[in-house]
Amino acid sequence: MHEEDQTETKKHYRICPLCEACCGLEIRTRGDKVISIRGAENDVFSRGYICPKGVSLKDLHEDPDRLRKPLIRNADGVHEEASWDEAMAEIERRLLPIRARHGADSIALVIGNPSAHKISLLGYLPRLLKALGTRNFFSASTLDQMPKQLSSGLLFGHWLSIAVPDIERCDFLLMLGANPMVSNGSLWTVPDYRGKARAMRERGGRIVVVDPRRTETAALADQHLAIKPGGDVFLLLGLVHTLFDEDLIKLGRLQEWTQGVEQVQQAVKPYAPERMADRCGIAAETQRRLARELAAAERGCVYGRLGTCTQRFGTLNSWLVDVLNVLTGNLDAAGGAMFPKAAAFASNTMGAPGIGRGIRTGRQHSRVSGAPEIFGELPITLLAEEMETPAGPQGSQVKALIAIAANPVLSAPNGQRIGRALDGLDFMLSLDIYLNETSRHADVILPGLSPLEDLHFDLAFPQLSYRNHARFSGPVFAKPAGQPEEWETILRLAALVESREAKAAPTGIADTGPEQMIDQALRSGPYGLTLEQVKRAEGGIDLGPLQPRIPELLRTPSGRIELAPEMLMADLQQVDEALAADMPAGMHLIGRRDVRSGNSWMHNLPLLAKGPERCTLLMHPQDGIRLGLADGGMARITANGTELLAPVQLSADMRPGVVSLPHGWGHDLPGSRLQVAGLRPGANMNALLDDRLRDPLSGNAVLSGVAVDIEAVQA
Ligand SMILES: Nc1nc2c(c(=O)[nH]1)N[C@H]1C(S)=C(S)[C@@H](COP(=O)(O)OP(=O)(O)OC[C@H]3O[C@@H](n4cnc5c(=O)[nH]c(N)nc54)[C@H](O)[C@@H]3O)O[C@H]1N2
Ligand SMILES: Nc1nc2c(c(=O)[nH]1)N[C@H]1C(S)=C(S)[C@@H](COP(=O)(O)OP(=O)(O)OC[C@H]3O[C@@H](n4cnc5c(=O)[nH]c(N)nc54)[C@H](O)[C@@H]3O)O[C@H]1N2
Ligand code: SF4
Ligand SMILES: [Mo]
């Protein structure tokens, strides 16, 4: 019998947790081995699509460096395996006195990207946060999408009411600062972007990509506009200006649901394309033609992503993208920018439809810099100063940190400063599956499960999907005996902080496991589904193309789209100042993603790590000649008081004057256990970034367009 089980091949359906595309996978196993991983053809949403990362789930599951037991750092600074009870006892012994002595704010919480992909984390973090009661809550959101959350919240009344391209019906797509061919989409869950973009062009649609680099996405588009880094606000203002100037406004159905159009018209008067051209690097006539083309499209859409958010004017950019969609009648219309309606957990389907309290920010401020809280978070670039600065009248110093699925030492600007500050803490706890650049600073590390041992239901991404759907997948393998699921660990920590019976199993209605949580959310959701129904439909339930949702979706106090929020109108003054100031001189650094990466933590998987060197500095050949750098030559890049070395890759795809380095590299720090990644560590581009630069409205870090010095290193 046992023998038979070991040889029988089983087929499992599993949703990939590694990026926002949320592809359904078909995983074949024999005994405890993975035999194959491919795209699940029967998935109603991803329809068989997969990328190399999905295949690498086997490597992740089998990675000998992946933590399976808690680690406690001994007196010599070495991490040693411990039992769960020992680890929890150590946390109790060291963390609780800090809180008792220095108050709730002395413990900071940082959560990273993978937590958005795990209901076991995302569904339970609010419990821990509530237990901690700290204002020092930080996340990767302020390295990423906070500007879009803020602008969407201001316009539509909820920060998760984010409109996405209805690509299957669109015939003109203007895309800024996004590379879905590589990233597989962001704030836009769209598996197989390539297939959808091709289909769009085959039916006569056009795609225009705005990016300082001719990316993989630009190569597949009809037109590429090589913008100057940081130039989007000028271009977008030029486009909105043109719509008014050339009488191209048509609000259509949204006329009666929109307020503030006149204020926007007044506000954009000064920004004629002729005045913007120099600052964005795109000729006035090109801007005007683009505005006309957008206005003339039957079903057009503007989409901006990471590259537009990680700038000083990230919130204005995010707002202007939606302004363009509204003014051209493309918001909430088929083929335009539409709002998904998730089967569960979507706050914008809860409460009274059509009206609400809107959003409020700045209810509290950070202690050292006084930066406003936004959706309960503080800018992650302020984490270091909160750890470094002694207590004063403004409150207590951060003395302890809990990091959950976060690697800010590599992913945040000036991460080396964060690393130093972590060493000064009284206690640090990491929930992580690796001993890496950040968790090596932790006194205790608690591991999560392998994704193949975990169930999966996406809480966030159905709210951002190109089509409505409900999908669930169960664990492929049983979890190791004695290892808790991450939600259990989080509840145990919350209980410990609340000083309830720490060792008891979680009890009570709020402490149910994810399945009950999902079932309740589905039942009370807009389609009245049950988890049983979703489970029975392997490959998911298709809930159809996106439907118009205005006015039902709105949660603003006016019950309308509030197109001219005061906070944004006021920030236009800073645009005027930027226009009046001199152009920042020198070479400008932008980021880049690679198909075989996932921010900082997938470089330890052999399948993804093989192949050519990926941490290279892309540079236009003209710049190479000027700087004496040939292909493969070594460049010294200097900024932020730091210098890095990286091999140069000459590429005519770069805008001259702009260079590109990927983030998430720099795996050569002592004390980490990343055998594969350590072989080709790469350089940490975030070491070059100044942690003082952020969009003050959203608190989002500036990751793009930073001036750097480059020189050739003689062999
Ligand atoms: N220069 C520059 N910097 C950037 C960006 C950029 O474009 N340019 N992009 C930014 C963006 S968009 C983001 S989202 C951030 C990401 O910033 P982070 O979230 O800090 O970085 P990740 O590399 O995603 O790190 C994830 C961590 O989670 C751990 N982990 C993985 N799976 C699990 C799990 O199942 N459970 C637990 N507990 N831990 C797990 C990994 O080992 C790793 O330590 O980086 C940002 N940094
Ligand atoms: N393979 C892979 N996939 C990933 C990730 C990964 O690390 N690897 N990370 C995941 C995460 S956390 C996220 S948030 C998403 C992000 O997904 P996307 O939003 O698609 O982000 P990127 O691929 O970084 O593309 C951003 C683009 O902005 C461009 N850019 C830089 N500066 C500017 C500028 O000033 N203006 C304009 N217009 N463009 C600019 C860059 O050249 C780049 O092509 O990807 C996710 N998917
Ligand atoms: S595109 Fe994203 S979700 Fe799909 S297989 Fe690749 S990593 Fe997984
Ligand atoms: Mo991200």
Q: How far is CA 552 from the centre of its chain?
A: 27
Ligand nearest 432 Cα, by number?
Answer: 1
Residues 428-441: what's their mean pLDDT? 98
- Output the CA angle 713-714-715, nearest 5 degrees: 110
Residue whose C-alpha is closest to residue 493's, from 116, 129, 140: 129
Q: How far is CA 516 from the centre of its chain?
A: 27
pLDDT at position 499: 80
Q: How far apart are CA 327 and CA 566, in angstroms?
A: 19
pLDDT at position 5: 62
pLDDT at position 511: 64
Helix (H) / strand (E) element for 324: namely helix 314-327
Residues 484-488: what's their mean pLDDT? 97
Structure tokens at 659: 């260079």
pLDDT at position 586: 87
Fill in the DSSP letter of residue 92: H
Q: Is 143 in the pocket of ligand 1 (CB under 6 A)?
A: yes
Which one of 432, 439, 487 would you pick to mutate in the ligand 1 pocket, going by the greatest count of ligand atoms within 8 A of its CB?
Answer: 432
Residues 208-235: what's their mean pLDDT? 98
Question: Residue 10: is its pLDDT beyond 90?
Answer: yes
pLDDT at position 500: 54
Which one of 182, 411, 461, 663 would you pick to mutate in the ligand 2 pocket, going by the greatest count of ligand atoms within 8 A of its CB?
Answer: 182
Q: How confident is the model at residue 490 (pLDDT cuts 50, 70, 90)?
A: very high
Question: Residue 582: is its pLDDT beyond 90?
Answer: no
The number of CA neighbours under 13 Å toward the Cβ of 84 is 18
Which residue is listed with tokens 């990016």? 211
What is the atom index within ligand 3 of the atom nearest the CA of 15?
3
Angstrom distances, CA of residue 318 to CA of 50, 99, 179, 233, 609: 29, 39, 16, 9, 34
What is the atom index within ligand 1 of the atom nearest the CA of 686?
1
Question: Residue 2: is its pLDDT beyond 90?
Answer: no
Contact 295, 289 (CB under 8 A): no
Residues 468-494: what's their mean pLDDT? 97
pLDDT at position 507: 44
CA 421 to ligand 3 centroid distance, Å: 34
Contact 343, 529 (CB under 8 A): yes
What is the atom index within ligand 1 of the atom nearest the CA of 117?
35
Cis peptide before 551 (omega within 30 of 0): yes
Fill in the DSSP letter of residue 116: G
Q: How far is CA 688 from the centre of its chain?
A: 21
pLDDT tens track for 175-206? 999 999 999 999 999 999 999 999 999 999 99
Q: Is 587 in the pocket of ligand 1 (CB under 6 A)?
A: no
Contact 434, 67 (CB under 8 A): yes
Provide the mean pLDDT of the chain: 96
**DSSP state string for 645-696:** EEEEEE-TTBPTTEEE--SS-----TT---TTGGGS----GGGGS-TT-B-T
Residue 218 pairs with which residues in a beta bridge? none
pLDDT at position 585: 82
Q: How confident is the model at residue 576 (pLDDT cuts 50, 70, 90)?
A: very high
DSSP helix/strand/coil, 430: strand
- Tell me the percentage of the chain whose pLDDT exceeds 70: 97
Ligand nearest 489 Cα, by number?
Answer: 1
Structure tokens at 480: 């190791």
* Dihedral sign from CA coordinates of 82, 83, 87, 89: negative
Angstrom distances, CA of residue 98 to CA of 89, 103, 106, 401, 497: 15, 7, 7, 11, 11
pLDDT at position 502: 45
Q: How confident is the model at residue 68 (pLDDT cuts 50, 70, 90)?
A: very high
Question: Residue 381: is its pLDDT beyond 70?
Answer: yes
Structure tokens at 144: 């990423």
Q: How far apart are CA 35 and CA 151, in angstroms?
A: 46
Residues 643-661: what's their mean pLDDT? 98
Structure tokens at 1: 């019998």
Calculate helix-pair angle for 486-497, 125-132, nearest 10 degrees: 10
pLDDT at position 54: 98
Give the 3-state DSSP-derived string for 15-35, with helices as H, strands as E and coil as C.
ECCCCCCCCEEEEEEECCEEE
- For ligand 3, which residues put their CB under 6 angstroms from it? 16, 18-19, 21-23, 50-51, 53-54, 184, 191
Residue 109 pairs with which residues in a beta bridge? 137, 402
pLDDT tens track for 319-342? 999 999 999 999 999 999 999 999
Structure tokens at 484: 């808790």
pLDDT tens track for 505-559? 444 435 689 999 999 999 999 999 999 999 999 999 999 999 999 999 999 999 9
Residue whose C-alpha is closest to residue 217's, from 289, 286, 280, 305: 305
DSSP helix/strand/coil, 221: coil
Residues 107-123: what's their mean pLDDT? 98
Question: Residue 1: is its pLDDT beyond 50?
Answer: no
Ligand nearest 22 Cα, by number?
Answer: 3
Indicate the pairing of strand 400-404 with strand 223-225: unpaired
